[in-house]
């Protein structure tokens, strides 16, 4: 018997995800108690602890349940506390990352607010 906790996502669901039979959004719905980082780690998204949102390339916007987290991160970005980046995973997903800055930058000219995104 192992002392390690069971993986948060069943291996069959990870296999179905990589076979494009299940989307990331469907995985989120199937595992509501799993954090976004746990799901990202389970399917192999790099740097899962920095992931704040994942969306399919065919979707027009980030998932609704992530909007508040993205809004808060954009405020922190404008204040010079974090950096944001977008990556791709498995050619089918955009991944939104946040990286804390070691040194606070000068406050920015409200990059997101001035574009009507915040």
Q: Of 99, 20, 25, which is closest to residue 65 (Cα–Cα)?
A: 25
Q: Where are the domains of the chain?
A: 11-115
pLDDT band per the 50, 70, 90 thresholds, residue 6: low
89-114 pLDDT, tens digit each: 999 999 999 999 999 888 777 666 65
Are 39 and 51 contacting, i.e. CB atoms less than 8 angstroms apart? no
φ/ψ region of 63 (left if φ > 0, alpha if ψ in -120 to 50, else beta) reads beta
pLDDT of 40:
93
42-75 pLDDT, tens digit each: 999 999 999 999 999 999 999 999 999 999 999 8
The reported pTM is 0.84
Going across the sheet that includes 82-89, the strands are 51-56, 93-100, 82-89
């Amino acid at each position: 018997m192992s002392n390690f906790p069971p993986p948060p996502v069943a291996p069959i669901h990870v296999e179905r995800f990589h076979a494009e039979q299940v989307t990331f959004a469907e995985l989120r719905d199937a595992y509501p108690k799993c954090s976004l980082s746990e799901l990202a780690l389970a399917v192999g998204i790099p740097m899962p602890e920095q992931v704040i949102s994942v969306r399919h390339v065919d979707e027009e916007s980030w998932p609704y349940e992530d909007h508040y987290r993205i809004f808060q991160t954009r405020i922190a970005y404008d204040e010079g506390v974090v950096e944001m980046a977008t990556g791709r995973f498995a050619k089918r997903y955009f991944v939104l990352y946040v990286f804390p800055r070691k040194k606070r930058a000068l406050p920015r000219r409200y990059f997101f607010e001035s574009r009507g995104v915040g």
